[in-house]
């Protein structure tokens, strides 16, 4: 499966952005999907994940209550709605596909190219 992330940009603290990740191929519904982020000089970290059906979601503690992950299997797309953004959310955000729901990088075998989110104070 090939993944294409989009929707990043510049926003002031307290603002919102919605990231999208479009997948190619009819096997999209067979994959759990995750969002990760990586700030300069930092390791890639887990943000959120969603099961193949969309019924189960998982979030990192630092985004709970602010970010929402969702998916539309008919549109082969997963979304990350980000509200109340903070400067520390500044990073390149990556979507990923894997055969199981998880919060570690090695869970996911397919990665998109990343989209940059910049939050100014």
Q: Are 18 and 27 in contact (CB under 8 A)?
A: no
Structure tokens at 65: 């209550």
Q: What is the pLDDT of residues 28-84, one digit of tens each?
A: 999 999 999 999 999 999 999 999 999 999 999 999 999 999 999 999 999 999 999
**How many CA atoms does the CB half-sphere of 88 hold within 13 Å?**
4
Q: How many of the other CB atoms lie within 10 Å of CB of 105?
A: 17
Beta strand 45-50 with 32-38: parallel, antiparallel or unpaired? antiparallel
Instruction: Provide CB contacts within 8 A for 93, sequence distance 6+.
Output: 5, 8, 19, 35, 36, 37, 47, 80, 114, 115, 116, 117
Q: What is the pLDDT of residues 6-38, one digit of tens each?
A: 999 999 999 999 999 999 976 899 999 999 999
pLDDT for 26 equals 67
pLDDT for 94 equals 98
Examine the pLDDT at 110 and tell me if it is beyond 90: yes
């Amino acid at each position: 499966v090939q993944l294409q992330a989009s929707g990043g940009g510049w926003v002031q603290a307290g603002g919102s952005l919605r990231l999208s990740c479009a997948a190619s191929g009819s096997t999209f519904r067979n994959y759990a999907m995750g969002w990760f982020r990586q700030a300069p000089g930092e390791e890639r970290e887990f943000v959120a994940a969603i099961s193949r059906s969309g019924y189960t979601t998982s979030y990192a503690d630092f985004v709970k209550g602010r970010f929402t992950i969702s998916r539309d299997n008919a549109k082969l797309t997963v979304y990350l709605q980000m509200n109340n953004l903070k400067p520390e959310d500044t990073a390149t955000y990556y979507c990923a596909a894997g055969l199981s729901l998880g919060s570690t990088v090695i869970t996911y075998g397919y990665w998109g190219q990343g989209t940059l989110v910049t939050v100014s104070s």
